[in-house]
Amino acid sequence: MVQLLAECETEYEQSGAVVVAIAFLSTFAALILVDAVLSGFAIKAAIDQGSSPLIERLEAAQQLLRAHPEELALQQSRSRHKLPAVVSGGSL
Protein backbone atom coordinates (compact mmCIF):
# COMPACT_ATOMS: atom_id res chain seq x y z
CA MET A 1 0.00 0.00 0.00
CA VAL A 2 2.76 2.43 0.90
CA GLN A 3 4.57 1.58 -2.30
CA LEU A 4 1.43 2.26 -4.33
CA LEU A 5 0.95 5.65 -2.70
CA ALA A 6 4.60 6.52 -3.34
CA GLU A 7 4.30 5.70 -7.03
CA CYS A 8 1.00 7.52 -7.68
CA GLU A 9 1.06 11.18 -8.40
CA THR A 10 -1.19 13.36 -6.31
CA GLU A 11 -3.50 15.80 -7.96
CA TYR A 12 -5.26 18.36 -5.86
CA GLU A 13 -7.73 19.28 -8.54
CA GLN A 14 -11.33 18.18 -8.12
CA SER A 15 -12.65 15.33 -10.18
CA GLY A 16 -15.86 15.51 -12.20
CA ALA A 17 -17.84 13.60 -9.57
CA VAL A 18 -16.97 16.13 -6.89
CA VAL A 19 -18.01 19.05 -9.12
CA VAL A 20 -21.34 17.36 -9.91
CA ALA A 21 -21.95 16.63 -6.21
CA ILE A 22 -21.23 20.24 -5.22
CA ALA A 23 -23.50 21.57 -7.97
CA PHE A 24 -26.28 19.16 -6.99
CA LEU A 25 -26.09 19.99 -3.28
CA SER A 26 -25.95 23.73 -3.96
CA THR A 27 -29.02 23.50 -6.20
CA PHE A 28 -30.81 21.35 -3.62
CA ALA A 29 -30.06 23.83 -0.82
CA ALA A 30 -31.29 26.74 -2.97
CA LEU A 31 -34.53 24.89 -3.77
CA ILE A 32 -35.14 24.19 -0.07
CA LEU A 33 -34.59 27.87 0.73
CA VAL A 34 -37.01 29.00 -2.01
CA ASP A 35 -39.56 26.43 -0.82
CA ALA A 36 -39.33 27.75 2.74
CA VAL A 37 -39.87 31.34 1.60
CA LEU A 38 -42.84 30.44 -0.62
CA SER A 39 -44.37 28.30 2.14
CA GLY A 40 -44.08 31.22 4.53
CA PHE A 41 -45.92 33.50 2.09
CA ALA A 42 -48.62 30.86 1.54
CA ILE A 43 -49.16 30.32 5.27
CA LYS A 44 -49.37 34.07 5.89
CA ALA A 45 -51.89 34.49 3.06
CA ALA A 46 -54.00 31.60 4.39
CA ILE A 47 -54.03 33.08 7.89
CA ASP A 48 -54.94 36.54 6.58
CA GLN A 49 -57.71 35.12 4.39
CA GLY A 50 -59.10 33.01 7.23
CA SER A 51 -59.21 35.91 9.67
CA SER A 52 -61.01 38.25 7.26
CA PRO A 53 -64.52 36.74 7.76
CA LEU A 54 -63.95 36.69 11.50
CA ILE A 55 -63.11 40.39 11.53
CA GLU A 56 -66.21 41.14 9.47
CA ARG A 57 -68.39 39.14 11.89
CA LEU A 58 -66.90 40.97 14.88
CA GLU A 59 -67.52 44.35 13.27
CA ALA A 60 -71.14 43.38 12.51
CA ALA A 61 -71.63 42.25 16.11
CA GLN A 62 -70.21 45.53 17.40
CA GLN A 63 -72.58 47.51 15.19
CA LEU A 64 -75.52 45.40 16.37
CA LEU A 65 -74.60 45.96 20.01
CA ARG A 66 -74.28 49.70 19.45
CA ALA A 67 -77.69 49.76 17.79
CA HIS A 68 -79.43 47.78 20.58
CA PRO A 69 -77.74 48.48 23.94
CA GLU A 70 -80.84 47.43 25.89
CA GLU A 71 -80.53 43.86 24.56
CA LEU A 72 -76.92 43.76 25.66
CA ALA A 73 -77.91 44.83 29.18
CA LEU A 74 -80.62 42.14 29.25
CA GLN A 75 -78.18 39.44 28.13
CA GLN A 76 -75.64 40.53 30.73
CA SER A 77 -78.23 40.47 33.52
CA ARG A 78 -79.37 36.99 32.46
CA SER A 79 -75.85 35.65 32.49
CA ARG A 80 -75.15 37.34 35.83
CA HIS A 81 -78.27 35.93 37.50
CA LYS A 82 -78.36 32.77 35.40
CA LEU A 83 -82.01 33.19 34.53
CA PRO A 84 -83.39 30.54 32.20
CA ALA A 85 -84.33 31.64 28.73
CA VAL A 86 -88.05 31.79 28.03
CA VAL A 87 -89.25 28.92 25.88
CA SER A 88 -92.45 29.68 24.00
CA GLY A 89 -95.07 27.17 22.97
CA GLY A 90 -94.05 24.17 25.00
CA SER A 91 -94.47 22.49 28.31
CA LEU A 92 -91.73 21.19 30.48
pLDDT per residue over 37-82, tens digit each? 999 999 998 888 777 777 788 888 888 878 877 776 777 777 766 6
* Alpha-carbon gap, residue 51 to 10, rounded angstroms: 64
Report pLDDT for 18.
Answer: 87
Q: At what angle do helices 69-81 and 16-67 cross, to 10 degrees?
A: 100
* 5 or 68, higher pLDDT: 68
Number of alpha helices (DSSP H) and beta strands (DSSP E) in the chain: 3, 0
The vertex-72 CA angle with 83 and 67, nearest 5°, equals 150
Looking at the whole model, is its pTM more than 0.75? no
How confident is the prediction for the chain on average, in pLDDT? Answer: 77
Report pLDDT for 8.
Answer: 63
